[in-house]
Structure 1
Amino acid sequence: MSLRCFLFPMLAFVCLIDIGYAKPARQETERNDNISNTPFSVKDSISLQIKTYEGILDELQQRPVENKSMASLLTQLGNLYFKSENYPKAIDAYIKSIVLREYNQFRNESRSTDVAWIMIEVGNSLYRLHDFGLAEYVYTMALRVFATQADEPGIITTCNNIGLCKLNAGHPKQALPVFLKTLEISKKNPVLNYRYVSTIYVGMSYNAIGDYKNAISMFRTLNGIDLGKDEEDLRNFMLIQLGDTYFNAGENDSAVSVYRKLVFSETGLVDSYYKTNAATRLARFYLDEGNDAEAMKLALEAERTLKFVEMTSVQNTVNELLYELYKKQGDYRKALAYLELYEKGQELVNQRELQTFVADYNRKLDRISMGLEFSKIQAQRNQALSEKQHQKTLSVFLVALAFLLLIMLLTGKGFESRIQLLQEHIKSYATYEKAIMAFLLAIYFIAFFFFFMPSGKSFSFHDSGFIKRIVPGMMAYVIVGFFSFIFYGIRSTRSKEHSNYNYYIYLFISAYIGAVTALVLLVFASGELSFNVILSIALAVLASFIFPFYLFLLVVENLVIKHYESMSQTLNNDIDQIKQIYTPQQKTVTIQSEKTTGKLTFFVADLVAVEAQGNYCMFYLSENGSVSKKILHTTMKSLEEQLAEFSNIIRCHKSFMINIHQISKVSGNSRGYLLHFSEDTESIPVSRGYQKEVMSLVRSFRDGIS
């Protein structure tokens, strides 16, 4: 009994350290055919045994029976559930067995240690479900029982299991002292297995810490220990850990050599579990190295081995490898088949969560008189469920954030012009309209954080009253308003010429940091704080800021585009009327240079546009069907004065003047509208400051000639 329970946590840890590769089992058509031809599969055998025990238990419950028989059957049923990887049912069966043994008639000397060994099985099941905190607590309770009975094998087993929980929870430095102490105890025991496995765990801790030299040294000390053929699994387990350490240390050749010994063992004593684990590790290595042929060979070898043994996690690792290999080869039909089976297996793993049964076995544990601290168990459960909810919320925000960042990436060009567009649009609002906008923004922040405010582990805003739930949104709104007030106060002191739209970035960053800090402090004051909560708050605040900004920007741009399209259509109509009724006069004009004796003479009708270029002006003149360029030392202000008598020549931009009758058409977009010309001249923009003036001048010119 003790040796079996001693090996369980070791096998559990081997499975868990491979969790990066380990996935649920799959079945494909060819494999189903092979299995159907075998007399009996392992899975079918375990299923039949489970049904048999369940049937016997149902019969025993219908008539009086000795409780000891019932407890023994429940323990064996729990072992079968464990082998079939149905850990929730295994825990349920073990708990029932503990209850019967603890509260009924058998009061012999072995009672306490029997219960403790079954508690180890409960811990092993929790361990497989990755609930290392609760598993460690159960192991600690079992350790207390073994300590009172001076049961050295039980003490060694539970101490090693506690160390494994710390190791898998990401605390190797806490696990190392536990394993070193256990190794000291094991050396005093005549059974070599205890010393052997404790040494392995010490090596694994050094490996996790990054001290590969000591880890390899610990594993090598085991080479001279002969455990015999019956305990060959322990040696295979050690070789798996040694190979992993070699890989981590960068000694790939040594790692490959160790794994190949397991895969191609000549003794035939390598268990299927270790053989397939070594094969999948080698396949992954060769795939990363570009040796696809060797990787495929090893992956298929692992798949063939798995036909005769039920190992869900390793099977799914093989599925993932074969999917990647067939996809790389271009065989998409097989790749898709393996991908579907991999996803089914992953779904199966996800379904085996602690939350589906934790409430049930907590209720049964109430009947155990071993002083279990049920409040702590409940807190562990609440923490697990809370963290899962945080992860779900975090996933939603990550998706929303990725989508919004994509929009930012695609529309990031022209940031200043878009900000200017928003600024001018908001300035056009009346005072009451700005008040309505501020009120709607307050409602938005309150509603957003009412539904999406992350919570601490021991405190949830969703369980609070209405007033407390609206506090985060009100805080965020007040902080945004405060920084906006400060921002506009500083900006109003600067002249328009010195306007810098980077101020808006500073406003965003300041308001963002302020809101995140305030909400983090609010959660900290209300309950326990964790990194996941801080990250969730940061993402929630970011999403709450970006979403209304881009939504408002898109709405404003859409309205402005429609406005400019309407203006463009009106200008096009006016220009068409001008072309129909206006005949350009062949009148010449001479433009004098301001600071030189230079001058330029041309027909007014031939002038297309004038462009300011520093202290010079470029004249675009239409001559014989083509456009020529003339440059003159003068300014736009002087030029306006010299051309003031010609109503068809107007200013449309601080850098451009144009001839109305030369315009061929007008087009509009979110930044304004453009003037196009029939000759070989680039389009000229109409700046926002001149838009109304241009429309008025064009209309006046049309009315003046009609």
Structure 2
Amino acid sequence: MKAFISQLNPRFSFRIGAHLVETLKSPFPYYLNDDRKNTLIPLGMSLFLVVFMLVFQPYNPYKVLLIGTVTFMVLFANIVLLPKVFPAVFDASNWTVGKYIVFTIWQLLLDGIVTAIALDVFNFHPEVAFVDKIFKVYFGVFTNGIIPIALATLVLRNHMLQENLRSAVMANCELEKIRLLKEDPLHTKSNVVTIYSDTRETLDLALSELLYVEASDNYSTVYWKNGQGIEKKMLRINLKNMESQLDNYFAIRCHRSFIVNINAIDHVTGNANGYKLGIKDTNFSVPVSRAKGKEVIEKIGQLRNVFELN
């Protein structure tokens, strides 16, 4: 029994660790991508903090207002102003849960030290040494900040979920219009492309039959539809080279490991982590990276316009 437990624990710990790493790398919104809305977040958190301290803690009202003002200034500077100075660091398309946690901890630490300095400058509790004042302030910052941070996190995650769901619904409406347009014989044109692998192996493929391409290192597996069903073929070619050879308006790289034919998308699903593209006549869904989400949704709308013009 002990031997079994000793074998189980490392495996269980590995799963927990892998799940934690995956969670930390999962997408998360950089607040609300709008300066006006992002100003309301620190304002709301600061007001909540002021009301909470006035109601539940016997503090000097002037001290509470000072703490609330400092909190707003620190949060506003970090959330709204700092990304303008370091845009690459705060790239919203690459923002993750892990970055959000680290950034939140940084704001708490900065808020604590600035609040302690402000209380010392305005001569609150002169009898307390500055070092002791810092420890007391940090205790208050972390305990009082838990609720507003949790509320802000829920608001941000719900905002991302609603945005993705809204975009997915719009994309599905466009796909339905495309299906109706493609019933017209004028929209059944297809082009044939020849894909050349690194080993000089070739694949002749009608672009209208292409479903998607999945890559792993220097190999790419092409999936396409024929009269009998779904076929696939693995070629020694990386996805970047595959993308350049396809070079078609409807073939779009939607993920670091996938190229999808926009025509092959049956439906789009959206959740807090992004989008997935359901492929026609299969049970497979192609993931969409966060950086490519907007481009894919726009391409679907543009595809409908192309069919209407032809």
Same fold (TM over 0.5): yes
Larger Rg: 1
Higher RCO (C-alpha 8 Å, min separation 6): 2
- Counterparts in 2 of 1:413 and 1:477: CA distance versus 1, 3 Å: farther
- Counterparts in 2 of 1:669 and 1:449: CA distance versus 1, 3 Å: same
1:576 Cα deviation (Å)? Answer: 2.4
- Counterparts in 2 of 1:698 and 1:513: CA distance versus 1, 3 Å: closer
Distance 1:482 1:570 in 2: 35
Secondary structure of the 2:125 match is helix
Task: Look up the match of 1:608.
Answer: 211
Task: Look up the match of 2:270.
Answer: 668
Task: Look up the match of 1:305.
Answer: none
Distance 2:111 2:250 in 1: 55
Distance 1:599 1:537 in 2: 68
Residue 49 of structure 2 is aligned to residue 414 of structure 1 = no
Q: By percentage of residues, which structure has more helix?
A: 1
Distance 1:468 1:414 in 2: 39
- Counterparts in 2 of 1:610 and 1:551: CA distance versus 1, 3 Å: same
1:450 Cα deviation (Å)? Answer: 3.2
- Counterparts in 2 of 1:567 and 1:444: CA distance versus 1, 3 Å: same
Residue 75 of structure 2 is aligned to residue 471 of structure 1 = no
Ranges in structure 2 where 5+ consecutive residues have no aligned partner: 1-19
- Counterparts in 2 of 1:468 and 1:590: CA distance versus 1, 3 Å: closer
Counterpart residue type for residue 679 of structure 1: D
1:688 Cα deviation (Å)? Answer: 3.5
Q: Can you list the C-alpha shifts for 1:439-470, whole angstroms capped at 9, x where unaligned?
A: 444433433333344xxxxxxx54x4x32342
Distance 2:176 2:141 in 1: 52
1:650–1:659 CA contact under 8 A, matched in 2: yes
Task: Look up the match of 1:429.
Answer: 34
Distance 1:672 1:493 in 2: 21
Distance 1:625 1:494 in 2: 50
- Counterparts in 2 of 1:662 and 1:484: CA distance versus 1, 3 Å: closer
Q: Superposition pairs for residues 372-411 of structure 1, below 5 Å?
A: none
Distance 1:588 1:526 in 2: 81
Secondary structure of the 2:26 match is helix
Secondary structure of the 1:525 match is coil
Secondary structure of the 2:203 match is strand
Q: Superposition pairs for residues 625-636 of structure 1, below 5 Å?
A: 625-636=228-239
1:663 Cα deviation (Å)? Answer: 2.0
Q: Superposition pairs for residues 226-625 of structure 1, below 5 Å?
A: 414-419=23-28, 421=29, 423=30, 425-426=31-32, 428-430=33-35, 432-453=36-57, 461-462=58-59, 464=60, 466-478=61-73, 492=87, 504-513=100-109, 515=111, 525=125, 540-582=140-182, 584-585=188-189, 587-593=191-197, 595-623=198-226, 625=228
Report the TM-score, using the length of structure 2 for normalisation: 0.68
Distance 1:586 1:487 in 2: 50
- Counterparts in 2 of 1:621 and 1:493: CA distance versus 1, 3 Å: closer
Residue 228 of structure 2 is aligned to residue 655 of structure 1 = no
Secondary structure of the 2:252 match is strand
1:656 Cα deviation (Å)? Answer: 2.0
Distance 2:110 2:301 in 1: 51
Distance 2:250 2:81 in 1: 47
Query: What is the total number of aligned residue pairs between the two structures?
Result: 277
1:607 Cα deviation (Å)? Answer: 1.5
Distance 1:571 1:488 in 2: 30
1:598–1:632 CA contact under 8 A, matched in 2: yes
1:601 Cα deviation (Å)? Answer: 1.9
Report the TM-score, using the length of structure 1 for normalisation: 0.33
1:565–1:667 CA contact under 8 A, matched in 2: yes
Secondary structure of the 1:414 match is helix
- Counterparts in 2 of 1:584 and 1:617: CA distance versus 1, 3 Å: farther
- Counterparts in 2 of 1:577 and 1:567: CA distance versus 1, 3 Å: same
Q: Can you list the C-alpha shifts for 1:79-122, whole angstroms capped at 9, x where unaligned?
A: xxxxxxxxxxxxxxxxxxxxxxxxxxxxxxxxxxxxxxxxxxxx
Distance 2:152 2:298 in 1: 30
Distance 2:98 2:156 in 1: 21
- Counterparts in 2 of 1:470 and 1:673: CA distance versus 1, 3 Å: same
Distance 1:519 1:604 in 2: 65
Secondary structure of the 1:684 match is strand
Q: Can you list the C-alpha shifts for 1:316-348, whole angstroms capped at 9, x where unaligned?
A: xxxxxxxxxxxxxxxxxxxxxxxxxxxxxxxxx
1:449–1:470 CA contact under 8 A, matched in 2: no
Ranges in structure 1 where 5+ consecutive residues have no aligned partner: 1-410, 454-460
Distance 1:500 1:571 in 2: 25
Secondary structure of the 1:679 match is coil
- Counterparts in 2 of 1:472 and 1:695: CA distance versus 1, 3 Å: closer
1:636 Cα deviation (Å)? Answer: 3.5
2:276–2:288 CA contact under 8 A, matched in 1: yes
